[in-house]
Structures are given as C-alpha cells and as structure tokens.
Chain A
Amino acid sequence: KQEVTQIPAALSVPEGENLVLNCSFTDSAIYNLQWFRQDPGKGLTSLLLIQSSQREQTSGRLNASLDKSSGRSTLYIAASQPGDSATYLCAVDSGGGADGLTFGKGTHLIIQP
C-alpha cells in the first residue's frame, strides 16, 4: 500500500527566501506525482505534474523534481512571497487513476512579510 510523507509539517520563513518542501513515497511504481496548493477552506490548485519518466518540471518560481528510485520529490519555491502562504500537498498516482491519488498530509507554509 502506497504511503506518502511530507516534511516538514509546517514552515515559517521571511519573504524573499528560497525554500524546499519534501515528499517521500514508499512504492516507486508510480504513474506520476503531482504537487498541489490548498488555501484555507478551498479546493486544491494543481501546481506541477511530473510523469514517472520525467525528472523535473518548472513553472515560474516553482520547480519540482522526482527521483523514483529513492521515492522522493522536492518542490523548490524561489523568492518566496506572502501570497505563497498555503498548504502544499504532494500526491502520487500509483494505479493510473483507478486507485485515485495517495496524498501526504501536507506542509503548512507561512511567508512572513
């Protein structure tokens, strides 16, 4: 059974810092890994999708990497801004969608102005 762990559970940094969020998964047989952002009481916003054959994806100030063999992914946020404050969730697709996504518990990020 796939398990996803995110470290740290919470992070508070001053504006402008670069930061790294970590995600690990127990079964390397995955279709893809997706990073989401969730604002309080809201749905999930897709940030980046990395297919199993890819090593990284970039979108603006965000860069996500994937190392399937070690069961790890990192989300790098450059030049953080207060608007980046949210909970960041990592999710793994192990069954081609049929088994749904397996989510970590998330990293609650606060960017101090």
Chain B
Amino acid sequence: DIQMTQSPSSLSASVGDRVTITCRASQAISNYLAWYQQKPGKVPKLLIYAASTLQSGVPFRFSGSGSGTDFTLTISSLQPEDVATYYCQKYNSAPGTFGGGTKVEIK
C-alpha cells in the first residue's frame, strides 16, 4: 500500500506568517490528494481536493499544490483560527491512507 508522509509533524509560527506543510506519497498518485483541517476536539473538515481545488467556503489564504508524489499545503497568512492539525489523504484507490498530521500552533 501507498504510504503518506507529512512534514513537519508540528510547527509554531507567528500570526501573519506564511506556513507550508509537505506531504509525500511513496508512489505516484497523480493529483488524488486531499487536505483536511481538524481543530482541537472537532470533526475533520475538508479544505482542498484534487491537490489544489479549494473546497467551497474555505478562506483563500489556504492553497495546495503538487502532483505525483510531492504536495504542499500553504497558509499564506496564518490566523489564530488556523490553529489545528492538518492531514493529507490520498484517494486514488482504497485504502485512502492519511498522512500522520501536522500540528500548527501560534508562536
């Protein structure tokens, strides 16, 4: 099965900073990559699908890029409400493996 590796596992940044999270697939998955945000104690929420398509209602400061094996999630200007753990997920075929998560905190 394809493995999904996220880095870093956690980060701390200041409000207004640009934040980048990476996700690497052990085999090529084209653009079948989604990103989810999970705030503490809450249900995961879809942010981005098809590697770069923003889900309706998601702020434009979130963006995704990549194809094949290497992907990134970028928050252009970190806001306090962005404190959460972010997960990538590949979905080209079952199992739809998640990455290990990246915890984002405010410095």
Bound pair: A and B?
Answer: no
- Interface residue ranges, A against B (CB under 8 Å): none
